[in-house]
Amino acid sequence: MRVWQKFKYLYHQKKLDMATVTEALQLAIQHHRANRLDQAEQSYRQVLAEQPDQLEALHGLSTLAQQTGQSQYAEQLLKAALQVQPDSVKNWFALGNLHLSQGQFSKAVEAYRQTLALKPDLAPIYNNLGYALQQVGQWEEAIASYQKALQLQPNCVEADVNLGNALHAQGKLLPEKQAHYADLNHKLGVIREQAGDLKTAEAYYQQAVELVPNQGEYYFNLGKIYQQQKNFQQAIDVYRKGLKLLNPRYAEAVAAYKSVETVLVTPPIPQGEVTVGAYQFPAIPSVADPEKPRPFWTVIIPVYNRIDYLLECLASVLVQWPGKEEMEILVVDNASTVPLFELVNSIGGGIVRYYRNQKNLGLVGNHNVAIALSRGQWIHILHDDDCVLPGFYSCLQQSIKNSPDSVGVACTGFDYFNERGQAIQTGEVVSLYGEHRGIMHSWLSYIGVCGLVTVPAMVVRRTTYEQLGGFYPELPEIADWEIFKRFAAFCDWWYEPGILARFREHTQKMSFEIFRSGKMAGAIRRAIEVSETYLPLEHREEITAKARHQNFHYCLARTGIPLKAGNFTGALYALQETLKIDSSPQAVAKLFAWLTQDEVAPLREEIVSRLLSIPVNNVYNSIDIESKHL
């Protein structure tokens, strides 16, 4: 019997023996390290119910309480641990850190000094003591504490940075040292931001800006902190400062811009269709006034209501803006409840052209309208929650301007990142093409099976849209994968190596809601059926079979998403559509095996319940009808 199964059994017993308490503590620590906080708390409490003086459990539960914002309870637990073991360095240090995080600096000083009385040779304690002393205005003692930390551990970067900041605040830092300490502050800010400690990251970034106020990158990272804190006005201010420093063309355009209302109502777009395979797709009209000069790029940012990441998205493009002769930037507002013009104009005024639809056209409709409005030779669609990294446009332009006419699409490497800006996974296309630069050989055999690239990482020649049509409105849930396949079936793709774009994963993402509703499996099934009609005859059967096989497994693995959300109807629909994707004997066997899992028991019981509700005569009649067709 595994440890977890054994613990589940013993959990319901009135008394736990010593061995079981040890197992429960180990389990609590495992849950805690894996960030399963509810399970960790349950296990810690089980241990303390049997052994109230168990130090590891008291310390672990205190740490967990602090993580979940229960500072007062965390303090009670640490003090209880110190009553059991008054000479515990770990718990005195933890108490000092808790007071420091609460802004109770005098108490923090007291706890750190008690820690040092027990263990006088630990650099991190002297560093934290120095910071607490600095906050209560005891500068000389703080500087001495930082110096002691560095004496004990010369490579203690935090102590070094804090010493430099303290000397700067006292006017004692040499001017030639300012750039060094600004860079250290910035690096520590990045580390703390990635750890989710926004308050400390903000302080480090602000210190970097104070030390070296002409470094644009510092302002950018500070802007992302303010954005995460939803302090949009401060984010605007620092983004503008950073953009002016990093992009002289931006600075010139902003200086020349006279703030006037420039909201453009989206004009009527000619309607038409392009037939590809057995389906009709929205036609994209030729560019208006083709005799007039055209930029190389059109960057399209479709928006609707959401503003959480819009400033970062805009800034990532504006910092690379090469001037209006080379790039136009269009923000197309899909009739947001409150127009987003002021936010867009706050950093894009004089550069970005803002359109507002008179009514909501849906995501796909908004994409197609924006493409129709474009004048660029190449089009980049960048969703408001995604961003591009430095070099995206310059690297791609250098390669594709001399590429063969057969190249209709280009893409770069990309990564997935989360709400806090942390990279969490490298895009699949990178593992396929690595450092290769050029036409993507065998690309259709990959993209025809599953989506391996994301919209922010790809750019499309405008004539490709004109020839093959825009996004398919009948598949709003998965229109991107369908259009990738359509383009790959009729033109070459170019690959530009390097991670140059970022795709954000978060709970506000439309795809998250589609999975929770159970609709994604049906959309994938229909996308396979659509592309089957236009894939090249010599590859059609093989690609379609692989797509059905792989996406059956993909959808089955995600059927639990609507189930966990309590959407039984959506889960059942997803299961039905998954079976339509692949109903081979092997797939059915996989489905039955999947249904035996404990976590899908509610769905299994619902299926059985529905089967039992069908009258027996109806079952036999349906079997008889089926047998007549054999």
Per-residue pLDDT reduced to its tens digit, 144-191: 999 999 999 999 999 999 999 999 999 999 999 999 999 999 999 999
| Nearest-angstrom CA–CA distance, 340 and 354 | 9
Tell me what pLDDT residue 148 has.
95
β-bridge partners, 333: 303, 356
Q: Is the pLDDT of residue 13 over 50?
A: no
Per-residue pLDDT reduced to its tens digit, 482-503? 999 999 999 999 999 999 999 9
Going by their DSSP bridges, the two strands 458-461 and 378-381 should be labelled as antiparallel
| Nearest-angstrom CA–CA distance, 154 and 174 | 20
Six-digit token string for 294: 């055209």
Residues 6 or more apart in contact with residue 76 via CB below 8 angstroms: none
User: 225-241: buried (b, 16+ CB within 10 Å) or exposed (e) per residue?
Assistant: bbbbeeebeebbbbbbb
Q: Is the pLDDT of residue 626 over 80?
A: no
For tokens 């006419």, name the residue.
Answer: 405
Mean pLDDT on 556-579: 84
**Least confident piece of the model among 462-471, 497-506, 604-613:** 604-613
How far, CA to CA in Å, does 211 sit from each of 123, 178, 428? 25, 6, 40
Six-digit token string for 607: 């299926």
Dihedral of alpha carbons 535, 536, 542, 543, sign: negative
For tokens 């006034």, name the residue.
Answer: 289
| Nearest-angstrom CA–CA distance, 337 and 344 | 15
Tell me what pLDDT residue 617 has.
53
Tell me what pLDDT residue 471 has.
97
Dihedral of alpha carbons 381, 581, 415, 345, sign: positive
Tell me what pLDDT residue 9 has.
40
Average pLDDT along the chain: 89
Per-residue pLDDT reduced to its tens digit, 241-284? 999 999 999 999 999 998 777 889 999 999 999 999 999 999 99
| Nearest-angstrom CA–CA distance, 50 and 10 | 13
> Residues 211, 168: contact at Cβ < 8 Å?
yes
Tell me what pLDDT residue 288 has.
85
120's enclosing H/E stretch is: none
Residues 6 or more apart in contact with residue 602 via CB below 8 angstroms: 563, 568
Instruction: For the beta carbon of residue 392, count every other beta carbon within 10 angstroms.
Output: 27
Task: Calculate the CA dihedral of residues 391, 397, 399, 402 and round it to 10 degrees.
Answer: -170
Q: Is 378 helix (H, G, I), strand (E, B) or coil?
A: strand
| Nearest-angstrom CA–CA distance, 133 and 471 | 60
Looking at residue 599, the DSSP 8-state letter turns out to be: G
The pLDDT-based confidence of 118 (bands split at 50, 70, 90) is very high
User: 336-355: buried (b, 16+ CB within 10 Å) or exposed (e) per residue?
Assistant: beeebbebbbbbbbbbbbbb
Going by their DSSP bridges, the two strands 297-303 and 327-333 should be labelled as parallel
| Nearest-angstrom CA–CA distance, 477 and 473 | 9
Could you give the count of Cα atoms lying within 13 Å of 27 in the half-sphere of its Cβ?
Answer: 24
User: Angle at CA 258, nearest 5°, toward 256 and 262?
Assistant: 120
Longest pairwise C-alpha distance within the chain:
95
For tokens 């001037």, name the residue.
Answer: 323
| Nearest-angstrom CA–CA distance, 336 and 329 | 19
3-state helix, strand, coil in the chain (%, to 5): 60, 10, 30
pTM, two decimals, is 0.83
Six-digit token string for 446: 């990959």
Dihedral of alpha carbons 568, 574, 575, 577, sign: positive
Could you give the count of Cα atoms lying within 13 Å of 64 in the half-sphere of its Cβ?
Answer: 24
| Nearest-angstrom CA–CA distance, 521 and 552 | 8
